[in-house]
Every structure is written in structure tokens, then in C-alpha cells.
Amino acid sequence: MLTIYEDVSQLSDSDRFTLGMTISRLEQNQIKVEHFDIHEQPDAFSPAIRTLMETESLPITLLDGEVIKTGSYLTAEDAGELLIVNQLNGIGKRCSSDGCK
């Protein structure tokens, strides 16, 4: 699962569009994405994320609980790499919209 902690108020319209396209691409390939805005969902920002925010800028992106990027959103290239890893992890497994088993 990909989790993004962000400040949506800092996004331009073009950034919102690009982020939306990236998230859509990931979700279409069975990667679940959650994102939390600091103004709309402050309780979702755990103490660990708040501590990280003391030295790192939003957005903060986690993959399965591990920080993979801070200070900027995933690029199309980043998303492509996640899709490749996801596909490799699914080799030999039966996959559906509920994930791989």
C-alpha cells in the first residue's frame, strides 16, 4: 500500500492533475493508494510522521510503511518502477482486484 501525507493547499491545478493521473495508474495496477491532507485529516498524521516533518517536507510517501520519498510527489518514472516491482511480486500468484494471493 502506498500512503501519501500531504498539504493539498500547496498543489497547483497542474500538480493536482498529474498526481491524480499517477494515482489512477497505480490503482489500475492493483496498488492501493491512501492520501491524507494535513488540514483535512490531521489525526491521520501519526507521531512518527509528525517527527519526520521536523526535518522533511511534505509530501511524505510511504510504501508498506517505509518512507520512499519526501519533499515531492512520485514522478511518472517512480510510479513505473513501483508497477514493475508490483508485477514481479505477483509472478506465480493469482491476482485480482483484491490483490495477489
**Are 49 and 18 within 8 A, CB to CB?**
no
- The pTM of the full predicted model, rounded to 2 decimals, is 0.81
**What is the tens place of the pLDDT at every residue in 18-77?**
899 999 989 988 889 999 999 999 999 999 999 999 999 999 999 989 999 999 999 889
Domains (ranges, CATH) in the chain? 2-100 (3.40.30.10)
Q: How far is CA 97 from CA 1, 31, 87, in A?
A: 14, 10, 14
